[in-house]
Structure 1
Amino acid sequence: MAGIRSTLNIKNRMMFLSRYVSPAMLAASGILVITIIALFVPPYIGMADNGDYYRILYSNGGYFNTPDYLSHYFGYFIKEYGIFQYFNENKDMLFSSQSLFVKFSLWVNKLFDQKVFDIRVQGAIFTALYTVAMYLLVESITWKAPRKYGYPIAIIAIFIFGDTGYTAYFNSLFSESVVLIMTVFVFASGLLLYRKRYNDYVLMFIFLISGLLLTTSKQQNAPVGIIIAVMGVILVFVRKQNTYRYMMASSLILLMIAGVGTYVLIPQDFVNINKYHAMTRGILMQSDDPEAALKQFDIDKQYAVLNQTIYFEPYMTVDVDSEILKDNFYNKYGFVSILSYYVTHPSQAGKMLDIAAKNAFTIRPPAMGNYEKSAGKPFGTQTKFFSGYSLAKQALAPKTFGFITIWSVLIIGLYMPSFIEAAKRRQMRHMVRLPLIVMMIFMGLSGILVSIIGAGDADLSKHEFLFTAAFDMVTFVAVGDAIRHRLWQSEEDQGGD
C-alpha cells in the first residue's frame, strides 16, 4: 500500500507540474535559483579585473576605491567601487551599449547608497533580464510540445545556461554579460516569430532593440549588425501587411547602420592596440620568415624584432605609441590587407584558425579568478559550483577549426529539408528557422575571424565569447528540435498572416 501511495503522490505532483509549470517556466526558474545562489549567497562569485574595468567604470561615474586594487588583478573578484560625488572629468573611452547598463545600475544603487557601488546591483539586473531571455528561448522550442519532450529540454537548458561560466560575468564589468543576454533575446525573438508565438510587432521590437544592444556592446561586434540585417531580410516577408514590412525593413536598416557605426567609432588607441597584436601575435608569429612577411606590407624588416611581443609589455625595443611606429608600422596595414594576406597564405591562416579553435569552447577565461580575497581562496581560484557543462565542454570539445566547419555544415544540413519544403509551399514564415540558424552560426564565426584578423591570438578566450555562446544556443535548439522530432520538418500550419 505504501508503494502505491508513493506512486500516486508522484503522479499527482507530475500532473500539478504539467498543469501549472510550463517547460519554459521550469527552465527560467531553475536558472534563476542557481544564479541567485552563485552570485548573491556567500562566498560571492564574480570575475576578477584583467585591467579593462577602468574603461567602462570611470567614464560612467565609478572609480576604484580599494587601496590595493592593482594587486587583485586577475586573482580576486571585487564587488564594491566608489561613486564620484562631484564633477567626473573622465570622458567616454569607448562607444558601448554596456554604458547604459552600468549607468542604470549606478542609478538604482544610489537609491540605497550614494557613495559605494555594489556590483551585485548590476548582477541582479542582468539576472532578471537573463531569466526572461531564457524563458523566451525555451518557450520558442517547447511551445505546444508534449510535456514529455518539453521538460527534458528544460533540464538541458538549465544544465547549459545556468552554468556559472556564463552567469559569473553578471558580477563583472566585462561586456560579455550584454553579449550573452542580447544574443539570447535576438535568437529567441526570431524563433518566436517563426512559430507565431506572441505578437509579431512586440517580437520585432525585441529583435531590433536586442540586436542594437548586441552590435554596439563592443567594437568587435560591428559585423553582427550587418549579419543580422542581411540574414533577417526573410523576416520582412512573414506578413503581407505593408505596415509590418516597412517597420521590419526599417529595423534591419537600423541594425546595418549600427554595425557600420560601431566600426567607425572605434577609438584610435584601440585600433593601434589591435593592429599591433594582429601583426605581432598573428602574421609574424605564424610566419616561417617574419622579415619576408613584413616586406609584403612594405614594412622595414627590422620590425621583425617585435615578433610575438605584446603591446602592454613594460620594456620594449620601441615605443608602441611613437610617431615612428605610427608612420612606419601601423599606417602600412589594416583589416583588409591582413585578410588579403591570410587569403593568399592559406596554410598560415589554417594555423591561426586552429589556434582560435583551441579557445573557442572556453566559456570562462582561465586567467580570471571568481572569488573575493576575503573568501580565503588561493589567488586566481575559479568556482566549480554548477560548472559541469563549461568544464566538460572545455575538456571534451574537439579543438580544431575542422570540427567547427563540420558542426556548421551538419547543423545547416539538418535544417535544410524543412526549409526546402516550406519554400516549395511558399510558406515564408516556415522558412525563417534556417536563416536564423545560419545567422547565429555566422555571428559566432565572425567572433573568431574578427579576433584573429583584428588582434591575432591576444586574449582569444574572451574575444571568442560570442562564438561559444552562439555554438551553445544553436546546439541546444538543434537538440530540442530533435527531441520534438522537428529537425526535418517545419511547424504545422499556423494559420494565415
Structure 2
Amino acid sequence: MRRRWLSQVFSWEGLTIAAAAAVLIIQLFIPPLIGLADNGDFERVMRTSGLDYDPNALTHRDRFFGYMSRWFALVPFGHGAYVSTQLPIIWLARGMAVLFGSQALLDVRYVAGIYTALLLAACFLLLRSAGQALSRAAAVLLGILLVLVFTDVGYAAYFNSLYGEPASLMFLLLTLALALRFAHREGRTPGGLLFVAAAGLLLVGAKVQNAPIGLVLALLLLRLGRLQASRSSTAAGGLSTDVDRALPVRRMKGIRHGCGSRLAAACAGVLALMSAGIFLLDAKEIRVINLYQSVFTGILKDSPLPERDLEQLGLDARYTVLAGTDYFQSGTAIPQRDPDLTHALLSNISVFKVASFYATHPQHLLDKLNKSAQAGKVSRPGYLGNYERGAGKEYGAITPSFDWWSGAKQRWLPGSFAVQASFFGLWLAGWGLERLRAKGKAAAAQLDVLLVIPAVAVLQFVVPFLGSGEADLSKHLFLFTVCLDLMLITAAVWGVHRLVRRVRPAVPSGWLP
C-alpha cells in the first residue's frame, strides 16, 4: 500500500500537481499576498455569509478598487437575498476560520485554500484520464499547459477574493473532468453520472450569467445517458473507478441498460429547470441594474444615433443624456434610480429585446463583438489592485509576477473577432475530423464532452454585452477566457499527439484528456 501511494505521489501526474500547488502557494499564501480588490460585488456575498468589511479599512479608498481585502469581520448571518453555489465555499472558509481559533476575523486565504484544492483535484482528474488516451509526449504537454495557464496570476488572483468567477472556473473544470471520466470505458455507471450532474448544477448556480449553460449541460447529460449504464464487471458486483467507490450507493446486479438514460433525463430536467429558475427569479434590483447597463452602457455607448435607438427600444428620447453612463456613476443628468426610468426599463426592455435589437442592427453587433474579443483575451481587470493595504505598494498596483500566460496572450493574441472566430472554426473542423475517426463509444463520447467547451464559450461571449453592455466587460468575460484557454490547450495537445502517432502509430488511439 505504501509503495503504491509513493508511486502515485512521484508519478507524472503527482509531480505536475505538486508544481501547480507550489506556484499557487507562493502567490496566494506567502506575503506579499496577491489577490483582487473589491469593485463593490463583495457586499452581496457578505450579507448572506455573515461577513463584513475589515474594521481597520475605514474609508472607501481602503475598501474598494485599489487594495485586495485580506480580512473580513465575522458577524451574525444577515438576510441577504443573494443565492449562489459559491456561498457554501464561503461558509466553509468561515467555519474553518472559527475552527482554527478566529472568532472575529476571516482571513481570505481560507477561501483561496478551498479554491486551490478544487483546482488541483480537477487538474488531477484531467491528467489521470489523459494518461489512458494520449501519447506520453502529449500527456506531458497537457500537464505543463494546465499548470502554465491556471496558475497564472490572471486566474490565481481571483482566489484571494469573494468574486464568483473562481467558483465558475472550478465547477467547469470539474464538470469536464468528471464527464470525460464517465465517458471513458471505466466510468459508465449511474454513480458517475450523478457526479457529473452535481458539478453541472454547481456551475450553473455559481453566477446568474451561467444560467444558459444549464441547457448545454442538459444536452451533455442526455448524450452521456446513451452510454451503456452498466458493464460486465458491474454484473459481477465490481467497482471500476475511484469516483464510483466514493458514492455511498451499492451497485447491484442486473441494472438495466435503460437506467442510465432515465437518470440522465432526470438530471437534465433538473438542470434545465434550474437554469430557467435562475433567469426568472433574478432579484428586481439586479435586473434593473442589468437592463440599465445593457441599454446605456451597451447599445447607446458610442452610438451615432442614440435618439433613434431609444425610440426603437420604446424609451423616451430624453434619456439620451444617459448614453454611455454606468449605473453606479455619480452626477448623471437623470439619476439612475429615478422611478420613471426604472418603470420604463422594466416595462420595455428585456434581454430578448436587446438581442433582437442587435440582430437587426449589424453595425452595433459587430462593434460589441470586436470589443468583447479584445476584452476576452485575458481575465485581468486592469482597474483592480492586486496587493493588500500595507504591503508597500501604491494604490491600485498590478503585479507583474506570474503573468506568463496572460502576459503572452495580451501581447500576441489578436483581439479581433474575425481572428478568434476563425480559430473557433478551425478547432471545430479538427473536432469534426476526430469525431469521424473515433473508434468505439467511449472515444466518441469523450469528443462530444469536449464540444461543451466551445458551446459555453459562445454563450459566455454574447451574454455579457446582452445583459450588461460594456460594464466590467473583461471580468464578465471570465468564463469565455477560460474556454478560449481550454481550446488553445486541447489544440496544442491534439497537434502533438497526432505528430507522435505519425512517428509511432502504436500510441493509444484518441487524443482527449
TM-score of the aligned structures, taking structure 2 as reference length: 0.87
Secondary structure at 2:357's aligned position in 1?
helix
Matched, 1:468 2:484: no
For residues 174-197 of structure 1, what are the alpha-carbon distances to aligned partners after superposition, in whole Å with 9 as ceiling and x for unaligned? 001101111111111222223335
Secondary structure at 1:315's aligned position in 2?
coil
Question: Are the counterparts in 2 of residues 98 and 217 from structure 1 also a CA contact under 8 Å?
Answer: yes
Matched, 1:25 2:10: no
Please, which of 449, 455, 476 is the counterpart of residue 436 of structure 1? 449
Secondary structure at 1:43's aligned position in 2?
coil
Alpha-carbon separation, structure 2, partners of 1:164 and 1:226: 31
Partner of 2:91: 103
Change over 3 Å in CA distance of 1:58–1:150 after alignment to 2: same
TM-score of the aligned structures, taking structure 1 as reference length: 0.89
For residues 196-245 of structure 1, what are the alpha-carbon distances to aligned partners after superposition, in whole Å with 9 as ceiling and x for unaligned? 35564443233112111111111111101111112442211111522222
Secondary structure at 2:451's aligned position in 1?
helix
* Aligned-pair CA distance for 1:291: 0.6
- Over aligned residue pairs, what C-alpha RMSD do you find? 2.3
The amino acid across from 2:95 in the alignment is W
Partner of 2:241: none
Question: Are the counterparts in 1 of residues 8 and 14 from structure 2 also a CA contact under 8 Å?
Answer: no
Partner of 1:451: 464
* Aligned-pair CA distance for 1:267: 0.7
Stretch of structure 1 that moved more, 164-173 or 24-33: 24-33
Secondary structure at 1:117's aligned position in 2?
strand
Please, which of 312, 315, 333 is the counterpart of residue 331 of structure 2? 315
Stretch of structure 1 that moved more, 162-171 or 245-254: 245-254
Please, which of 68, 71, 75 is the counterpart of residue 66 of structure 2? 75
Secondary structure at 1:82's aligned position in 2?
strand
Change over 3 Å in CA distance of 1:284–1:108 after alignment to 2: same
Question: Are the counterparts in 2 of residues 195 and 491 from structure 1 also a CA contact under 8 Å?
Answer: no
Partner of 1:209: 198
The amino acid across from 2:158 in the alignment is Y
Question: Are the counterparts in 2 of residues 24 and 136 from structure 1 also a CA contact under 8 Å?
Answer: no
* Aligned-pair CA distance for 1:306: 0.9
Change over 3 Å in CA distance of 1:438–1:153 after alignment to 2: closer
Question: Are the counterparts in 2 of residues 45 and 371 from structure 1 also a CA contact under 8 Å?
Answer: yes
Please, which of 268, 273, 279 is the counterpart of residue 257 of structure 1? 273
Partner of 2:222: 233
Structure 2: unaligned runs, 5 residues or longer: 1-5, 230-256
Partner of 1:8: none
Secondary structure at 1:49's aligned position in 2?
coil
Question: Are the counterparts in 2 of residues 60 and 99 from structure 1 also a CA contact under 8 Å?
Answer: yes
Structure 1: unaligned runs, 5 residues or longer: 1-16
Matched, 1:478 2:478: no
Change over 3 Å in CA distance of 1:203–1:473 after alignment to 2: farther
Pairing 1:278-427 to 2, within 5 Å after superposition: 278-422=294-438, 427=440
Alpha-carbon separation, structure 2, partners of 1:272 and 1:440: 30
* Aligned-pair CA distance for 1:294: 1.1
**How many residues are paired up?**
471
Secondary structure at 1:91's aligned position in 2?
coil
Change over 3 Å in CA distance of 1:405–1:231 after alignment to 2: farther
Partner of 1:224: 213
Partner of 1:94: 82
Alpha-carbon separation, structure 1, partners of 2:136 and 2:7: 7
Matched, 1:193 2:193: no
Change over 3 Å in CA distance of 1:138–1:478 after alignment to 2: farther
Alpha-carbon separation, structure 1, partners of 2:418 and 2:457: 15
Partner of 2:249: none
Alpha-carbon separation, structure 2, partners of 1:152 and 1:313: 46
Alpha-carbon separation, structure 2, partners of 1:208 and 1:365: 31
* Aligned-pair CA distance for 1:71: 1.2
Question: Are the counterparts in 2 of residues 47 and 77 from structure 1 also a CA contact under 8 Å?
Answer: yes
Alpha-carbon separation, structure 2, partners of 1:358 and 1:145: 33
* Aligned-pair CA distance for 1:69: 4.7
The amino acid across from 2:295 in the alignment is M
For residues 264-287 of structure 1, what are the alpha-carbon distances to aligned partners after superposition, in whole Å with 9 as ceiling and x for unaligned? 221111111111111111111243
Matched, 1:175 2:202: no
* Aligned-pair CA distance for 1:338: 0.9
* Aligned-pair CA distance for 1:428: 3.5
Secondary structure at 1:408's aligned position in 2?
helix
Secondary structure at 1:127's aligned position in 2?
helix
Secondary structure at 1:26's aligned position in 2?
helix
Question: Are the counterparts in 1 of residues 291 and 345 from structure 2 also a CA contact under 8 Å?
Answer: no
* Aligned-pair CA distance for 1:310: 1.0
Alpha-carbon separation, structure 2, partners of 1:315 and 1:19: 61
Question: Are the counterparts in 2 of residues 77 and 370 from structure 1 also a CA contact under 8 Å?
Answer: yes
Secondary structure at 2:202's aligned position in 1?
helix
Alpha-carbon separation, structure 1, partners of 2:109 and 2:276: 33
Partner of 2:36: 47
Alpha-carbon separation, structure 2, partners of 1:260 and 1:320: 28
Alpha-carbon separation, structure 1, partners of 2:322 and 2:8: 65
* Aligned-pair CA distance for 1:246: 1.9
